[in-house]
Chains A and B, each alone.
Chain A
């Protein structure tokens, strides 16, 4: 089935959208500032003859037009992490500060966990949760290579995340970068759409609602929750926000990102959503030559 055609009503310039979805993306790395400065990492890459092309909107990210990240000295030392550039958006929107308590609700394999730890200067704590032990082991390996020491890893279903191990302490911020139908990653994984079904979208949106509501409950009043996916499906994006706005004490807030984006949609497939979902941002592949993404910022109320 032609999955992308379902989004034609909400995408401007359908042809450019489709063309962008078919172009592959270059490898991108983010410098792990816990272990090296951006300049030193750049010099280490260049010393090996690896071409680096800075990502203009994100300091410390480099496109590697001719190489893959894994087989060079700065990778071995944990100075760099392979991460698609648009996936660096939600941790920056969450904007955690050193010393805070932060929950990464669907953390493995750890690109955003490690980015959060770096934004916090490895101070405070990032509780990184995942339900899959194999993926958690990848997260642990990545975190260790990057030398992160402020992360606590838990194996559980995020929908029933327990605050017990840390004496019930609530979070200052939570990142809810949920499992999704991932159409936004087709430029990296062209097979993504082969297994796409409407049933899967419906099923996974239930999981997403469960994780987002748990994150809001586990975050203190006045704290911040960021919800993100790499899908275009409103069932997994605005519909999930609409549900959380109904069920929990929270509101959507405005935020800026240095990428071209479109507002969240308030109508889809006969459903209408809370008008404030417009504050969310849809990032399409043809606007910035990146993968696709969805991101929303919420404030937890009393």
Chain B
């Protein structure tokens, strides 16, 4: 596994490729695509042009294109997904970019709820009847739903996962 701060390794395509790496915890491309499809209904072809990379432990990046692996640079595409923990977690930026393709585990907020959410507030939303865990949170903007980011839904409560630096009082 890579612990070097600027080293990106392309993740293995599947189980067979991973076996050669001697790193059973590393996510595979197959698993990443399955995660988005199984949990959120995002079709795998959405990411056809993308390669996935790990830098540090468990942080997956999505790059639209390819590069020699490993590559020692500061950034490659966008941060995309946290793996190597019990529940994988998409980043705010990935959800804003790809969340519009989601059909499941999408919670839609009204204006006041959306404002509270991007300010970083947790709120009671007992009427949600989908799964618990990380949800894709949307609101209406310019006439259509638009993804805001990730919320953690537990015990009737939606916890904002907007990173501190992205929070806004709107």
Residues of A at the B interface (CB closer than 8 Å) are 35-36, 40-41, 43-44, 47, 71-78, 122-125, 128, 136, 140-141, 143-145, 147-155, 165-167
Contacts and interface: CB of A to CB of B under 8 A. Distances in A.
B75 A153 contact: yes
Interface in B55-75: 62-65, 67-68, 71-75
A152 B170 contact: no
Nearest to B67: A166
A36 to B, nearest CB: 8
Contacts of A123: 49, 64-65
4 closest Cβ pairs, A-B complex = A153-B75, A147-B97, A44-B142, A149-B64
Interface size class of B (residues with CB under 8 A): 20 to 34
A98 to B, nearest CB: 11
B88 interface: no
A154 B141 contact: no
Interface of B: 6, 49-50, 62-65, 67-68, 71-79, 91, 93, 96-97, 118, 141-144, 146, 148, 165-166, 168-170
B169 A71 contact: yes
Contacts of A154: 73-74
A140 B165 CA distance: 13
Contacts of B141: 44, 47, 73-74, 77
Nearest to B71: A165
Contacts of B170: 71-73, 76
Nearest to B97: A147
Contacts of B142: 36, 40-41, 43-44, 47
Secondary structure call for the B interface: mixed
Given A150-B64, A151-B77, A165-B71, 15 more contacts: A40-B142, A43-B143, A75-B168, A76-B168, A77-B141, A122-B64, A136-B74, A143-B78, A144-B79, A145-B166, A150-B65, A152-B67, A155-B74, A165-B67, A167-B68
Nearest to A125: B65
A136 B96 CA distance: 22
B93 A147 contact: yes
Contacts of A145: 93, 166
Contacts of B118: 76
28 contacts: A36-B142, A40-B144, A41-B142, A43-B143, A44-B142, A47-B141, A47-B142, A71-B170, A73-B170, A76-B118, A76-B168, A76-B170, A122-B64, A125-B65, A136-B74, A136-B75, A140-B74, A140-B75, A147-B78, A148-B78, A149-B63, A152-B71, A152-B73, A152-B75, A153-B76, A165-B71, A166-B68, A167-B68
Contacts of A151: 75, 77
Contacts of A140: 74-75
Contacts of A148: 78
